Each structure stands twice: as structure tokens, then as C-alpha cells.
Amino acid sequence: AEIIIVRDEEEAGRLYATCVAKLIRRKPDAVLGLATGSSPLAAYRALAGEIGKDGLDVSRVRGFALDEYIGLPLDHPESYHSTIHRTVVGPLGLDPALVHVPGDALDGAPLSDEALVAPAGAAYDAAIEAAGGIDVQILGIGTDGHVGFNEPGSSLASGTRVKTLAEQTRLDNARFFDDDVDKVPTHCITQGIGTIMKARHLVLLAFGAGKAEAIEETVEGGVSSFCPASALQLHPHATVIVDEAAASRLR
Ligand code: F6R
């Protein structure tokens, strides 16, 4: 992977925005891979700032998000459907009909609704394929090396599928659910590492000392399902953008 060390999230955001703006000028119906979490927020803000400059038009841009909880109504404020629409679709002025989140077809159905849940992963991968694949996939990374909801141990060849959330992830995310872990869904649907690896360009963003170990494992460790992000080493076009703190354990 190409490693770029930046001063702060704003500088990282500008790099992402420059790259994506160039893509959209060349391909007005570009397909963006979108992530939730805090790491990409400055990048979305920077991209929003580019729109309209020299006529940059995003009305035909398409999007596919990485992951979603199972069992939350789509309009629940913490669903990734809501989050992506609030933090990306709205601020960028994308066409909401062109932006997809893996749980959309479930429409809040519970895990027990097998008829809906079972085919959803393969259908999402098929939709990405039908769109011609993802041009640029933005990624954050968990302190344990997860990407999307692919926790350590996830197959590096996996497609979009239903997963059980790790207990630690549910505890970490309880802060978004009134600090009540019982309100955190137990399952999710996430693009697989194999899905993510099909995107033509991966841009992984990580900031702060808390990510230093995960970045070291991702970039300099062996490729292993125990650090799902390490699959990036096998990608022909992966860019890792980190601040000094997140880069602090790199040789
Ligand atoms: C986001 C996602 C997660 C986050 C990761 C880092 O859709 O699936 O993998 O990217 O947990 O989160 P932040 O950026 O909040 O540190």
C-alpha cells in the first residue's frame, strides 16, 4: 500500500476530496464506497466543499455503504442507513435513490425473518457488480484491525453476509444506544473483505495513537484474517492516509 502521513484529518480529507472530485469529472456516475464512523467525516466535509466548484456535479454519483445493523428500523437515528443519509447523502446533495446501505432490503426486519435476511448479502454484492463495481472505497479501521464489521478471524475471501457482532463491539457501541448494551443489535450485515478487495481503489483513513497498533499490523504485519485490514497489502491500489500518531509504530 501507499502510505501518506498527513498533519491532520483536514489534510487527509483534502487528499480524498481531490481524488474523488477528479474521478467524478472523468466519470459523472462514479460509484463511491462509503463508511460510517468518525474517520471519514472530514473527508466527506472536504468533498462537500468541492461540489459546485467549476461545475462539479454529483447528481449521478452512486454509493454503497459498508455495513448495517440487523433489526433496527431504517429510520432509527443509529441505523447506518440514517447515518449515511445524515452525514453523506444530505451534506453532499447526492440523489438518495442512488445510495445503498446493506440493510435497505431488510427494512428493519429481525434476524428471524430468514426469507428476507438470507439472500440479502449476495443480493448486495450483485447490486455492486451490476453498478460496475466500486471506484473508490473509503475505509476506517478498528483498534483490533476490523474493517466494516469484519472482526478478527473473518475470511479474507468473504462476500457481504450476516455476522454476529463481537461482544466488545457491542460494548463499544453502547454509547450510541443510551449506554445500554442490551439495546445494541446482536447482528449486522457487512461487506466482506472479498467484497472490499474488489473496489478499484481503497482509501483507508486512521487518526490518533489508538490506531497505531492496528496500522502497524495492517501495513507491516503478515497478511492474516486476525487483522482483516492486512488484506490491503494484496490490493493493487490501496492508499493508507494516517496522521503522525497513527503512523508512530511504523518502521
Ligand atoms: C464503518 C465501519 C467501521 C469503522 C471503524 C472505525 O462503516 O464499518 O469499521 O470504520 O470501526 O471507526 P472510527 O472511524 O469511528 O474510528
DSSP string, 228-251: GGGGGGG-SSEEEEEETTTTTT--
Q: Is 147 in the pocket of ligand 1 (CB under 6 A)?
A: yes
Band (pLDDT 50/70/90 cuts) for residue 39 is very high
Quick one: pLDDT at residue 88? 98
Residue 140 CA to ligand 1 center (angstroms) comes to 5
Residue of 146, 158, 175, 176 best suited for mutating to test ligand 1, as the one with most atoms within 8 Å of CB: 146
Q: Whose CA is nearest to atom 1 of ligand 1?
A: 36
> What distance in Å separates the CA atoms of residue 188 and residue 49, rounded to the nearest whole number?
32
- 134-193 pLDDT, tens digit per residue, is 999 999 999 999 999 999 999 999 999 999 999 988 999 999 999 999 999 999 999 999
Q: How many helices (H) and strands (E) does the chain have?
A: 8, 10
In this structure, the dihedral spanned by the alpha carbons of residues 125, 88, 239 and 245, taken in order and rounded to 10 degrees, is -130
Quick one: pLDDT at residue 249? 98
2-243 to CATH, choices 3.40.50.300, 3.40.50.1360, 3.40.920.10, 3.40.50.2000: 3.40.50.1360
Quick one: pLDDT at residue 179? 98
Q: Is 36 in the pocket of ligand 1 (CB under 6 A)?
A: yes
pTM of the model: 0.98
10 Å Cβ neighbour count for 180?
A: 9
> What distance in Å separates the CA atoms of residue 53 and residue 18, rounded to the nearest whole number?
12
Residue 81's nearest CA partner among 63, 57, 59, 54 is 63
- 198-227 pLDDT, tens digit per residue, is 999 999 999 999 999 999 999 999 999 999
> What distance in Å separates the CA atoms of residue 225 and residue 236, rounded to the nearest whole number?
19
Least confident of 11-15, 150-154, 167-171, 242-246: 167-171
Quick one: pLDDT at residue 139? 98
Question: 213 near 249, Cβ under 8 Å?
Answer: yes
- 98-142 pLDDT, tens digit per residue, is 999 999 999 999 999 999 999 999 999 999 999 999 999 999 999
Quick one: pLDDT at residue 216? 98
Quick one: pLDDT at residue 65? 99
Question: 241 near 233, Cβ under 8 Å?
Answer: no
**How long is the chain?**
251
Q: In what order do the strands lie in the sheet with 187-190?
A: 67-69, 187-190, 161-164
Band (pLDDT 50/70/90 cuts) for residue 45 is very high
| Over residues 62-78, mean pLDDT | 98
- Name 216's Cβ contacts closer than 8 Å, sequence gap at least 6: 249, 250
| Over residues 26-52, mean pLDDT | 97
Residue 137's nearest CA partner among 69, 67, 82 is 67
Domain segments of the chain as ranges: 2-243
> What distance in Å separates the CA atoms of residue 92 and residue 99, rounded to the nearest whole number?
12
Residue 185 CA to ligand 1 center (angstroms) comes to 16
Q: Is 125 in the pocket of ligand 1 (CB under 6 A)?
A: no
